Amino acid sequence: MNYEEVREEYRKLGVDTECAIEGLRAIPISLNSWQLDDIGGWERPVATAPGAWPGRPRTPDEMFADLDLAVSLIPGRLRLNVHALQGVPDAAGHLDRGNLRFANFRPWIDFARKRGMGFDFNPSCFMHPLAVGGALCDVDRRVRRFWIRHAVATLRIADQASRALESPVSWTFWTDAGKHDEPSDRFGPRLRLKESLDEIFRRAQVDPARVMVCLESQNWVVGKESYAAGSHEFMAQYAAKHGFCCLLDMAHYNPMESVADKISALLLFSERVALHIARPVRHTCAHVSRLDDALRDVCREVVRLGPDKFLLALDYGDASMNRVVGLVQGARNVQLALLEAFLTPNAQLGCYQDAGRTTDEFVVGETLKTLPLGAVYAEFCRREGKPCGMDWLKPVLDYEKNVQLKRN
């Protein structure tokens, strides 16, 4: 089927594919830069993502080259998401998380500006000798002060990035503080976390017009499965009290929970919800997002409730395949899920539900599953000047052969 034929098929169900394409074009997706360096950074580069696919970038310049290729193959509006441990070292090769400067991230911001991308930023309170005791939850006040200073510095860098790009920047806090076994004291670490966050925001004086604070919860972390200080209840309550954004990571909950189901509950009491899109497999969130039911359910909620109420970002680190492929395919899968939601007659289905017309609701929903979503996405890619179908894969494989494999 060509696009015009597909457009007619959707029209029969009351769906305008042109409106769907325009809706998709308006939604920015933040790319997880750490997919390209195995969440290693440049402070003391250590690969932590599962897998050992050859060609991992050895320098910031090599990483920017990989990222440039990925961006050239993804249609639509994009943002760039960076962790503090990915700061570019100074001329002497030093990067100190306790003493970060805007200059460490200017190359990232320049990259985003040149490509018309937004920018998002994250403190990195993990993978550090002073993080083993829980960072902001540590019983040692001196350790907590180190991480408070780190978080304040990243908030100020986010503010400077917003001014430089003349665009708001989201700042996401996440902690892996927790216990491998049942804790004797659950309250103490959370109290220290609360007091540390209070001090961070007192010192940083965040302007919400420039920096959108997002607090990301967790249910578990590998090696800390029994207790998470920054649980969903903690982060959601803290965000609500201070007017911040609650961030839901699709891989941070019990596999039997539905992240999609949580969204509407939060939006009854918050102006915006942030989402980290990942694919959990048991106790790891390192897998590239697939076009699966969990992703489809979340994207349906985004479209139904209003995309302007959401901040969307990818969040995984998978070195079991070419890292650029992981970034490109993950982003395209999110766009496909969003487009599928735009191609759904949501208002009509809602009316069927309210009227108790479950037969109509069921049949229309099932019929939509057989319509050629890919043809509409191909039209979107064509209009964006990006490769359609699998045409994007060959440039990556050529790049792997001619560039990446020569790094080892």
Q: Which helix (H) or strand (E) holds 212?
A: strand 211-216
Task: Answer whether 150's CB lies under 8 Å from 97's CB.
Answer: yes
Say what angle helices 106-114 and 60-72 make with each other, to 10 degrees.
20
Q: Amino acid identity, residue 323?
A: R
- Cα–Cα distance for residue pair 205/152, rounded to 1 Å: 9
Indicate whether 47 pLDDT > 90.
Answer: no
Which residues 6+ apart lie within 8 Å of 373 measured at CB?
336, 339, 340, 343
Task: Answer whether 138's CB lies under 8 Å from 100's CB.
Answer: no
Model pTM?
A: 0.94
Q: What is the pLDDT of residue 68?
A: 98
Q: Amino acid identity, residue 318?
A: D
Task: Answer whether 373's CB lies under 8 Å from 339's CB.
Answer: yes
Indicate whether 71 pLDDT > 80.
Answer: yes
Q: Give CA separation, 350 vs 310, 356, 360, 364, in Å.
A: 21, 10, 11, 12
Domains of the chain: 26-344 (3.20.20.150)
Say how many CA atoms lie within 13 Å of 75 toward its Cβ: 25
**What percent of the chain has pLDDT above 70?**
98
Indicate whether 382 pLDDT > 70.
Answer: yes
Would you call 292 exposed, middle or buried from its count of C-beta atoms within 10 A (0-12, 13-18, 19+)?
Answer: exposed
**CA-wise closest residue to 191 among 150, 144, 224:** 144
CB atoms within 10 A of CB 296: 19
Task: Answer whether 278's CB lies under 8 Å from 289's CB.
Answer: yes
Under the phi-then-psi rule, with left for phi > 0, alpha for psi from -120 to 50, and beta for the rest, what region is 38?
Answer: left
Secondary structure class of 379 (helix, strand, coil):
helix
Indicate whether 301 pLDDT > 70.
Answer: yes
Indicate whether 179 pLDDT > 90.
Answer: no
Per-residue pLDDT tens for 142-178? 999 999 999 999 999 999 999 999 999 999 999 988 8
Per-residue pLDDT tens for 1-43? 789 999 999 999 899 999 999 999 999 999 999 999 988 888 7
Indicate whether 408 pLDDT > 90.
Answer: no
